Structure 1
Amino acid sequence: MEEVQRKTFGKWKLLVVFAICASPLIASYFTYFVVKPQSRTNYGTLIDPRGYPIPSSLGSASLDGKPEPLDTYKGKWIMLFPHDAECGEPCRKILHDMRQLRLAQGKDMDRLERVWLVTDKSPLDTTLMREYDGTHMLRADPSAVNAWLPADNGTIPADHWYLIDPLGNLMMRFPKDADPNKIKRDLAKLLKASRIG
Structure 2
Amino acid sequence: MTESNSPQVDPRAVRRGRVIALSLFAIALLPIVLASWMYFGGWGAVGGTANKGELLQPVGAVETLGLRTVDNTPLTDRFFPAREEPLWLILTIAEACDTACRKALHEVRQVHIALGKESERVERGLWVVQSTAAGAGESISDGQTLGQQYPELVLLEHESGQARPELPGAAELQTSYQIYVIDPNGNIVLRYDASNAGEDLLDDLKKLLRLSNIG
TM range (shorter): 0.5 to 0.7
Q: Judging changes above 3 Å, is the alpha-carbon distance between structure 1 residues 59 and 102 closer, same or farther for their aligned structure 2 residues? A: closer
From the CA coordinates, give the structure whose radius of gyration is larger.
1
**1:95 lines up with 2:114 in the alignment:** no
TM-score (norm 2): 0.63
Supply the distance in 1 between the matched residues of 2:55 and 2:127 (Cα, whole angstroms). Answer: 21
Asked whether the 8 Å contact 1:79–1:164 carries over to 2, the reply is: yes
In the alignment, what sits opposite 2:56?
A: 47
Runs of 4+ aligned residues of structure 1 deviating over 4 Å after TM superposition are: 141-145
Higher normalized strand content (fraction of residues): 2
Higher normalized helix content (fraction of residues): 1
Supply the distance in 1 between the matched residues of 2:67 and 2:53 (Cα, whole angstroms). Answer: 27
Q: For 1:58, which of 66, 69, 73 is the aligned residue?
A: 66
**1:137 lines up with 2:155 in the alignment:** yes
In the alignment, what sits opposite 2:138?
A: 124
Q: Which amino acid aligns with 1:58?
A: G
**1:149 lines up with 2:168 in the alignment:** yes
Asked whether the 8 Å contact 2:179–2:193 carries over to 1, the reply is: yes
Supply the distance in 1 between the matched residues of 2:127 and 2:109 (Cα, whole angstroms). Answer: 15
Q: Judging changes above 3 Å, is the alpha-carbon distance between structure 1 residues 38 and 83 closer, same or farther for their aligned structure 2 residues? A: same
Using the aligned pairs only, state the percent identity: 28
Supply the distance in 2 between the matched residues of 1:144 and 1:54 (Cα, whole angstroms). Answer: 18
Q: For 1:172, which of 182, 190, 200 is the aligned residue?
A: 190
In the alignment, what sits opposite 1:113?
A: 123
Q: For 1:184, which of 202, 205, 211 is the aligned residue?
A: 202
Q: Which amino acid aligns with 1:181?
A: E
Supply the distance in 2 between the matched residues of 1:189 and 1:59 (Cα, whole angstroms). Answer: 27
Q: Which amino acid aligns with 1:82?
A: I
Supply the distance in 1 between the matched residues of 2:167 and 2:208 (Cα, whole angstroms). Answer: 23
Name the count of aligned residue pairs: 155
Q: Deviations 1:69-107 (Å, cap 9, x if unpaired)?
A: 1123221110001124x4122101111111111111111
Supply the distance in 2 between the matched residues of 1:100 and 1:149 (Cα, whole angstroms). Answer: 25
CA-based RMSD of the aligned residues comes to 2.6
Q: Which amino acid aligns with 2:51?
A: N
Question: Could you say what secondary structure the match of 1:93 adopts?
Answer: helix
Question: Could you say what secondary structure the match of 1:60 adopts?
Answer: strand
TM-score (norm 1): 0.68
Supply the distance in 2 between the matched residues of 1:57 and 1:79 (Cα, whole angstroms). Answer: 14
In the alignment, what sits opposite 2:26?
A: none
Question: Could you say what secondary structure the match of 2:166 adopts?
Answer: helix
Supply the distance in 2 between the matched residues of 1:187 and 1:42 (Cα, whole angstroms). Answer: 9
Q: For 2:114, which of 91, 104, 115 is the aligned residue?
A: 104
Question: Could you say what secondary structure the match of 2:165 adopts?
Answer: helix
Asked whether the 8 Å contact 2:165–2:172 carries over to 1, the reply is: no
Q: For 2:73, which of 57, 68, 76 is the aligned residue?
A: 68
